[in-house]
Amino acid sequence: MGDLLKTLKEFEDISSEFHEKIMNILKENYCWKCPMRTTSSKTFCREVDAWIRLTHALEDAVKENMEEKLSPEARNFVQMKYLNKISKNQFSYDRKLLIKLKADLKPYAPKGSVLIIEENCEIIKKDDLVLIPKICLLHVYGFSRIKYNDKLPFKMAKVSKIFHESGGKFIKTHEGIQISPQLLIGRVMKILDKKNSKFL
């Protein structure tokens, strides 16, 4: 492990230097244009922006390296395994979400309904309702962070098929979307609305 720890420490040092460098570039070339620049010492927007850009650059580099060495099927499998490992490390317990809808999710749930969502569900069956991200998942690291901070826009879909391909498990929805279960926000356990809940 000596060489591995040494290499990771070198990477940490370089990353720290580049984080500082990116912040300086933002300050000199961009931040002066921002109307919020007078409050940047309180909002820490430069620090956050530099962090996001650095992690995205890292993931782009990893993806580029894999594109040169792995087939598309193998890359999809690596992505799936990565997200699975992230989700297991994030939570060692079952997490349920309550989401109140601000708009209709036709044809499944009207505005004002409350969704009970099971995250990291291990069992998904045909005809289950699931929440799928609406945004393009360009950065797996970013997706994993956004997902676990409950800031990911979603749509609802019904599962029509579960299948295995290239060593990985996938679901297909009635709309024709194929997605790895690791990219789901969760499974809809129950929809509460004015007809079946006294709390609304």
Task: Give the pLDDT of residue 81.
Answer: 75
Residue 161 confidence (pLDDT): 93
pLDDT at 148: 47
For residue 94, what pLDDT is reported?
66
Question: Within the chain, which residues score under 70 in pLDDT?
Answer: 1, 36-37, 39-40, 84, 86-94, 135-152, 166-167, 194-200
The pLDDT of residue 200 is 40
Q: Under the phi-then-psi rule, with left for phi > 0, alpha for psi from -120 to 50, and beta for the rest, what region is 40?
A: alpha
CATH classification (class only), 96-192: mainly beta
Structural domain boundaries in the chain: 2-69, 96-192
> What is the structure's pLDDT at 122?
75
Give the type of residue at 73. E
